[in-house]
Every structure is written in C-alpha cells, then in structure tokens.
C-alpha cells in the first residue's frame, strides 16, 4: 500500500509542477473575449455532436493520460465508466495496465492512443488488440520522440505498472518510442488497420496539412499539456491557423490544453475545434471520486458550455462560429473576420 501511495503522490506532483507553457495554456484562454449574439431563440440549446461519425452528447472528450490506476482504483476503466455516463468519448492511453476489453465493456465509445515503438511489431500487435476490442479510432501521439526536459523525472518508465497488460511479454527496451517517426507512419497505420487515424501533438498548420495528406482523418492541436517543450506555443494560439488550414479537407480538428470551464470550451469551438479533450482535470476528478467524479466533471463542463451557448445565441455546436471569439484587445470592437 505504501508503494502505491508513493507512486500516486509522485504522479500527481509530476502533473502539478509549474511550467511556463502549462501556466500560459490557461492564461492564454483568459485572453479571449466573446462577442455574443442577441435576439436569438435559445429555448432549446443542445451540445450533442459527432466526432469521426461517432455520436456524443458533448464535445468535451477525455484525453489519453497514462497510469490512471495509480491515481485511483479502477484507473482507465473507471474513467471510461464516467465518460459513458456523461455521454462522452474516452481516448485510452496505451500506457495502462487494463485490457482494452475492459474499456469496451464500460459501454463508452473509445479511441486507442498509439505510440509507434522501435519494435513496430509490438505496435502492430497493440493496434490489432485495440481494433478487435472495438476502438473507433487510433490516436497517434507524435510529439514525444524523447521525453521533455522536466524538473521532476516523473514515474520511471520501467515501473511495474508502466505498459501493463497490453504488452505482457515485452521487455523495457522493446517498448521505447521510435525516434524515426515520419508522416509515412500515418500511412502505415492505415495499412495495418481499418480504423481512422487521429494525429495528436500538432502545433503547426503545415504539419497538420501533411498529416491529413498522409491519411489522417483528424488532428489534435496539443503540446502534451505543456510538459514536453517549455515555451512551446499555447494550443489556443495555434488552433485558429490549423483549423483554417484544414478547412475543405474533410479532416476534423480537436484541441486540448488549459481548458478549465465551459466558456473555455465554447471559445475553443469558436476558434475552429470540433471537440476538446480534457487531461489533468479528469485525473483530478478520478483521484478525488472515481468514475462518479469523472462523470460529474464532464457533465458540469458540458452544463457550463450549454449555459454559455445560450448567452451567446448558439443553439448547437454548428452555430458556434469564429465571429463569436476574439483576443482581449478586440473587446468592445467589431468581431474578428
């Protein structure tokens, strides 16, 4: 028990450490101002949408976060139960100790995160497991050729819970992340699976376009929660240009990082995201109340989003358009665009 508590404390401290990019993620979202419409019939406001064709009750999704079983009993399965109750979708980290079949049995729609490993045979096996268990998409994380320079090393990569049941026969050296990852690996994932590929960790419009041209169906604008490259551009800054670049391609754009309220979600949708992913807040909810608190978090943020939509005159996510949001220096001026 003491060992588990120590690991839990280590993980939560690791996630809470102040970094400039982490802090700027949240600060940047406070520098947006909304330009509400008035005299709109908002008797009925709904948050339901689709992501890659999967219906969800909310555009507030769950980001992949590793080793959730260290945070609370049940780990990723508890998170999936909470997401299912909230009508959301969960992206399951490949660094979990729980089989994909247990995620499937929660009833939540889910995507499987993928790191391409140096031993691509292990990646192929993991993809096959995910597809067989009913994953609706593969989420390829591309911003971690090496782990960022962090002031605290975080949980060791060879800890007993790292990797877990998904790769039970692998030795630590086999599961090292590939440093030779290229856009060709998007094509490769499409060749070994029938699942759509979402590319997570994109901060540049040209990279987003290249990913889509290689076969990605969506991108997640993400800087890994600000934990990889300090002073990397905040996702709220990168999002509008990427969303504009992908207009007309048929690809969807999602975003994570620094989202702490329904108003933040509304602004992200106005800036071009189809959905958002929450990471740290979900872990905090899981740690303090398991599946029920995960549901409460997602439902609360969704309720805040619905309330904000009512106040800006948007009856559905499709009515959340770029003219509703602008930087702080446009407050009181004409909407952007």
Q: Which residues are part of the catalytic machinery?
A: 224
User: What's the alpha-carbon Rg for the chain, to the nearest Å?
Assistant: 19
Distances (CA, A) of 19 to 15, 34, 50, 87, 230: 10, 27, 34, 32, 7
What single string gives the DSSP state of each residue in 92-145?
EPSS-SS-HHHHHTTT--EEEEEPPBSSHHHHHHHHHHHHHTT-S-EEEE-S-S
Query: How far apart, in whole angstroms, are the C-alpha atoms of residue 132 and residue 129?
Result: 5
Distances (CA, A) of 296 to 45, 86, 92, 95, 303: 20, 8, 19, 25, 10
| Alpha-helical regions (H) of the chain | 2-16, 20-30, 68-71, 75-85, 100-104, 120-132, 184-192, 205-213, 235-246, 262-270, 280-312
Do residues 34 and 266 make contact, with C-beta atoms less than 8 angstroms apart? yes
């Amino acid at each position: 028990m003491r060992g588990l508590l120590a690991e839990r404390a280590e993980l939560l401290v690791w996630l809470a450490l102040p970094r400039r990019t982490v802090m700027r993620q949240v600060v940047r979202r406070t520098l947006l101002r909304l330009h509400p419409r008035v005299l709109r019939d908002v008797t009925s406001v709904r948050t339901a949408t689709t992501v890659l064709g999967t219906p969800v009750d909310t555009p507030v999704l769950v980001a992949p976060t590793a080793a959730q079983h260290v945070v609370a009993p049940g780990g990723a399965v508890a998170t999936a139960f909470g997401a299912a109750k909230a009508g959301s979708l969960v992206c399951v980290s490949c660094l979990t100790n729980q089989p994909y079949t247990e995620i499937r049995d929660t009833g939540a729609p889910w995507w499987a995160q993928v790191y391409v490993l140096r031993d691509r045979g292990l990646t192929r096996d993991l993809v096959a497991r995910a597809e067989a268990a009913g994953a609706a998409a593969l989420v390829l994380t591309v911003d971690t050729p090496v782990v960022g320079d962090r002031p605290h090393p975080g949980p060791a990569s060879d800890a007993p819970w790292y990797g877990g049941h998904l790769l039970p026969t692998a030795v630590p050296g086999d599961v090292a992340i590939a440093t030779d990852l290229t856009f060709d690996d998007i094509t490769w994932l499409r060749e070994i699976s029938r699942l759509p590929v979402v590319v997570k960790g994109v901060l540049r419009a040209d990279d987003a376009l290249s990913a889509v041209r290689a076969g990605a169906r969506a991108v997640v604008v993400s800087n890994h929660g600000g934990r990889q490259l300090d002073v990397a551009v905040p996702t709220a800054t990168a999002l509008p240009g990427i969303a504009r670049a992908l207009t007309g391609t048929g690809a969807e754009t999602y975003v994570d990082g620094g989202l702490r309220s329904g108003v933040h979600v509304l602004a992200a949708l106005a800036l071009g995201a189809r959905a958002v992913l929450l990471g740290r807040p979900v872990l905090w909810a899981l740690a303090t109340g398991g599946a029920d608190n995960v549901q409460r978090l997602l439902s609360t943020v969704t309720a805040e989003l619905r309330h904000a939509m009512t106040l800006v005159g948007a009856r559905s996510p499709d009515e959340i358009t770029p003219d509703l949001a602008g930087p702080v220096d446009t407050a009181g001026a004409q909407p952007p665009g």
